[in-house]
């Protein structure tokens, strides 16, 4: 849905509050602009001696009553009209976040985090200002000017009114000419802000790398260039938008001077009274405020238009992942079949997977091994429907994966990715991942199964320990095991471990795998690794190379084959033996020191 349509829907939903606010604003304009006329009447009474003391007092009380009433009316219409701008901000931000959640992984591969932050903050704020100051100032300006013109021309002097308003068309014409320039320069401001957001985000996330390579000064220089670029973009915008206000005020100051000259002469000749002159002066001031704001109103609207254009590009992105409505039959594990599967990532030419044929019976475990870039993770991503594949290639319980609901599929798959992301909250909440109905006992049991329970208890706050951003306070192995616990607590039908034991030592790996064997007996398991020791106990093992299965079988079968798997296993075993021997020698040397 386009942003324009979303905003129209929002206005329809809030139509009653807008109608009430505008009606109150109309009454406010009539009431508040009646005060200068009453002031003029009081002036004439005092100047010409036309009214009694009682009549003058009544006019003063009447004027005070109008002022109090105007105060109450102003509060009311601002509550309804200006208050809605906060509602539209929340409404648009919620829609944007929901849309971002629905987009596939491929979308984020081509987007910068800084840009997305700018969309969610600056662009949404620009739309809020349109519905706040932009909309309210425009409506109020029209009403105030209309009522003021009625009093000025209808009750005082039409000729003087024409003279006073002579600059208005010129100001409006110049402002309209510059509106396109304002929009274009604001788009550059938004892009420069996105660049700053991206740089700050990358530096905070990579601060350890920056410090390790002593690149603080270089990063400061890069940030300074971005900051200067942002300043230049803002200054280019201000050169246009900032000049409109003074130019408008200059025109109306000249108009005000002309009014004083002609108005004073009319008072002298008796064409208007002194009270009318004072009232007209008040109406001039009332008119000048909205007209002076024309430049700001145009700027706010043009900024909003630029933001709508930018947000439309995001909302135009669509999820190309087929989302069927079918639900596989309930079972402790899914029977997975892959037939003649080929896959190439978007915007690339080299296939990531070629002619993959597999059958993983329910309740069995498949081990996937191979060199970096061989397609191991890609296969897991396709099973999770993170990327789309054609019909007839992947089946779960004999049901085409494209016919299965994405939500149901992912709810029934426990996935531990290579990059273990933890939220900036407690260990307990990271394991339960905010799911309802999970008890503390469930969390602790999952932690025991993943081999991280004892480590957690060593922390002063135990399971309530805050892990920091992305789990920075935990070691790599601890993060991996917390992520495994998070997958296990779902009690999924399929458990996929994507190189999720790479940061733990062999002893801890053996303990975790031992615990997982009892879990995997009841469900379908896929264990992906570059270490043979991780997959060797799987029911079936495939060796991937350049996206193709070049060897498959049990551990014993592949060892007897003496191919790539055998060579990898032997090389890793010899390396492990050498490392252990070196560690043993090191300990002995330490003892003699």
Query: SS3 letters for 308-327?
Result: HHHHHHHHCCCCCCCCCCEC
Q: Does residue 573 form part of some domain? A: yes
Residue 329 is classified by DSSP as: P
Could you give the CA distance from residue 532 to residue 553 in angstroms, rounded to a whole number? 13
Q: Which residues pair with 543 in a beta bridge?
A: 369, 551
**Residue 295 CA: distances (Å) to CA of 134, 152, 168, 173, 179:** 11, 24, 12, 11, 9
Domain-embedded: residue 350: yes
| Sheet containing 394-396, strands listed edge to edge, beginning at the edge strand earlier in sequence | 353-360, 336-343, 394-396, 399-400
Pair 311, 225 in one domain: yes
* Structure confidence at residue 588 (pLDDT): 44
Tens of pLDDT, residue by residue over 334-384, are 889 999 999 998 878 889 999 999 999 988 999 999 888 888 989 988 998
Last residue of a domain, one of 464, 491, 518: 491
Residue 327 forms part of a structural domain: no
CATH number at residue 478: 3.40.50.300
Indicate if 106 and 136 belong to the same structural domain.
Answer: yes
Q: Residue 323: inside a domain, yes or no?
A: no
Both 346 and 240 in one domain: the answer is no
For the record, the structure tokens of 52 come out as: 């009694």
Looking at residue 356, its pLDDT comes to 92
Burial string for 140-169 (b: 16+ CB within 10 Å, else e) reads: bbebbbebbbebbbeebbeebbeebbebbe
For residue 589, what pLDDT is reported? 46
Distance (Å, whole) CA 556 – CA 367: 13
pLDDT reading at 3 higher than 60: yes
The answer on 202 and 103 residing in a single domain is yes
Q: What is the DSSP string of 471-515?
A: GTTS-HHHHHHHHHHHHHTT--SEEEEESTTTTS-HHHHHHHHHH
Residues 354, 487, single domain; the answer is no
Q: Closest Cα to residue 201, out of 273, 115, 261?
A: 115
The helix (run of H) or strand (run of E) holding residue 339 is strand 336-343
What count of residues does the chain have? 593
Cα separations in angstroms, 87 against 74, 125, 151, 191, 547: 20, 12, 36, 26, 50
Last residue of a domain, one of 491, 526, 554: 491
Q: Which two tokens stand for residue 163?
A: 């003279």
Q: Which of 285, 315, 345 is the last residue before a domain boundary?
A: 315
User: How many Å apart are CA 569 and CA 548, to the nearest integer?
Assistant: 19
- Among 175-179, 418-422, 499-503, name the one with the lowest average pLDDT: 175-179
Q: Are residues 398 and 282 in the same domain?
A: no
Q: Predicted confidence band at 299 (pLDDT cuts at 50, 70, 90)? A: confident
Kindly state whether residue 304 falls inside one of the protein's structural domains.
Answer: yes
Using DSSP, state whether 345 is helix, strand or coil.
Answer: coil
Distance CA(427)–CA(466), nearest Å, equals: 6
Do 198 and 49 share a structural domain?
yes
Residue with tokens 């003063």: 60
Residues 404 and 467 in one domain: no
Instruction: Say if pTM beats, i.e. exceeds, 0.75.
Output: no
Q: Are residues 478 and 498 in the same domain?
A: no
- Collapsing DSSP states into helix, strand and coil, what is residue 34? coil
| 255 and 108 housed in the same domain | yes
Distance between CA atoms of residues 42 and 543, nearest Å: 98
Tokens of 558: 């592949």
322 domain-assigned: no
Q: 400 and 426: one domain?
A: no
Number of domains in the chain: 3
Tokens of 30: 């009539």
Q: Within a domain: residue 44? A: yes
For residue 291, what are the contacts with CB-CB under 8 A and spacing of at least 6? 141, 145, 168, 171, 248, 252
10 Å CB burial of residue 223 (0-12, 13-18, 19+) is middle
d(CA 230, CA 224): 10
| 560 — pLDDT class (breaks 50, 70, 90) | very high
Domain-embedded: residue 328: no
Over residues 204-222, mean pLDDT:
76
- Average pLDDT for residues 306-313, to the nearest whole number? 86
Q: Are 378 and 343 in contact (CB under 8 A)?
A: yes
Confidence of residue 585 (pLDDT cuts 50, 70, 90): low
| Residues 291 and 359 placed together within one structural domain of the fold | no
Q: Which residues span the domain enclosing 52?
A: 3-315
| Assigned token pair, 82 | 């200006």
């Amino acid at each position: 849905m386009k942003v324009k349509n979303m905003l129209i829907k929002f206005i329809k939903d809030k139509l009653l509050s807008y109608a009430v606010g505008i009606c109150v604003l109309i009454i406010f304009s009539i009431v508040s602009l009646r005060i200068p006329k009453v002031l003029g009447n009081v002036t004439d009474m005092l100047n010409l001696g036309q009214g009694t003391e009682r009549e003058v007092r009544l006019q003063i009380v009447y004027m005070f009553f109008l002022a109090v009433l105007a105060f109450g009316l102003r509060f009311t219409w601002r509550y309804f009209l200006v208050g809605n701008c906060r509602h539209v901000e929340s409404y648009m931000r919620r829609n944007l976040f929901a849309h971002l959640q629905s987009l596939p992984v491929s979308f984020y591969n081509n987007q910068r985090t800084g840009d997305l932050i700018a969309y969610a903050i600056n662009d949404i704020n620009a739309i809020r200002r349109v519905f706040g100051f932009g909309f309210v100032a425009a409506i109020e300006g029209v009403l105030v000017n209309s009522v003021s013109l009625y009093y000025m021309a209808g009750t005082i002097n039409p000729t003087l009114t024409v003279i006073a308003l002579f600059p208005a068309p010129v100001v409006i014409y110049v402002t309209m000419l510059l509106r396109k320039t304002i929009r274009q320069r604001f788009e550059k401001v938004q892009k420069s802000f996105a660049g700053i957001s991206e740089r700050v985000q990358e530096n905070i996330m990579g601060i350890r790398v920056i410090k390790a390579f002593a690149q603080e000064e270089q990063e400061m220089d890069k940030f300074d260039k971005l900051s200067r670029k942002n300043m230049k973009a803002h200054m280019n915008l201000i050169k246009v938008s900032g000049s409109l206000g003074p130019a408008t005020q200059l025109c109306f100051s000249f108009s005000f001077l002309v009014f004083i000259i002609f108005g004073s002469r009319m008072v002298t000749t008796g064409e208007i009274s002194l009270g009318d002159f004072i009232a007209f002066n008040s109406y001039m001031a009332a008119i000048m405020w909205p007209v002076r704001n024309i430049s700001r109103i145009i700027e706010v609207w043009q900024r909003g238009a630029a933001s709508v254009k930018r947000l439309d590009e995001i909302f135009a992105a669509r999820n190309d992942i087929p989302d069927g409505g079918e639900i596989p039959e309930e079972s402790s594990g899914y029977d997975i079949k892959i037939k003649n599967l080929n896959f190439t990532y978007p915007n690339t030419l080299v296939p990531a997977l070629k002619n993959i044929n597999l059958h993983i019976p329910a309740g069995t475990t498949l081990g996937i091994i191979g060199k970096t870039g061989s397609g191991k993770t890609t296969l897991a991503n396709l099973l999770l429907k993170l990327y789309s594949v054609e019909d007839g290639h992947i089946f779960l319980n004999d049901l085409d994966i494209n016919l299965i609901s994405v939500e149901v599929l992912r709810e029934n798959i426990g996935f531990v990715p290579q990059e273990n992301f933890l939220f900036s909250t407690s260990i307990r909440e990271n394991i339960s991942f905010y799911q309802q109905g999970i008890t503390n006992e469930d969390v602790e049991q999952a932690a025991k199964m993943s081999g991280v329970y004892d480590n957690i208890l060593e922390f002063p706050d135990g399971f309530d320990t805050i892990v920091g951003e992305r789990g920075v306070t935990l070691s790599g192995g601890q993060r991996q095991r917390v992520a495994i616990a998070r997958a296990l607590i779902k009690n999924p039908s399929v458990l996929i471990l994507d190189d999720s034991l790479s940061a733990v030592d062999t002893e801890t790996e053996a303990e975790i795998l031992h615990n997982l064997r009892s879990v995997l007996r009841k469900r379908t398991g896929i264990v992906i690794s570059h270490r043979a020791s991780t997959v060797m106990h799987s029911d079936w093992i495939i060796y991937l190379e350049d996206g193709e299965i070049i060897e498959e079988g049990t551990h014993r079968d592949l060892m007897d084959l003496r191919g790539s798997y055998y060579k990898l296993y032997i090389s890793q075993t010899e390396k492990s033996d050498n490392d252990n021997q070196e560690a043993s020698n090191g300990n002995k040397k330490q003892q003699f020191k």
